[in-house]
Amino acid sequence: MNLNLSGKIVIVTGASRGIGLAITRALADEGASVVAVSRSESAELTALGVHTVTADLTDPQAPAAIVRAALSTFGRLDVLVNNVGAAHPRVHGFASVTDDDWETTFQINFFSAVRMVRAALPALLEGGAGNIVTVSSVNASLPDPLVIDYSAAKAALANFSKSLSKEVGAAGCG
Active site residues: 150
CA–CA gap between residue 106 and residue 31 (Å, rounded): 33
Distance CA 36, CA 21 (A): 9
CA dist., res. 69 & res. 11, Å (int): 10
45 neighbors 24 (Cβ within 8 angstroms): yes
Residues 65 and 154: their CA atoms lie apart, in Å, by 24
* Beta-ladder partners of 132: 80
- Residue 4's Cβ-count burial label (10 Å; 0-12, 13-18, 19+) is exposed
User: Are residues 71 and 130 in contact, defined by beta-carbon separation less than 8 angstroms?
Assistant: no
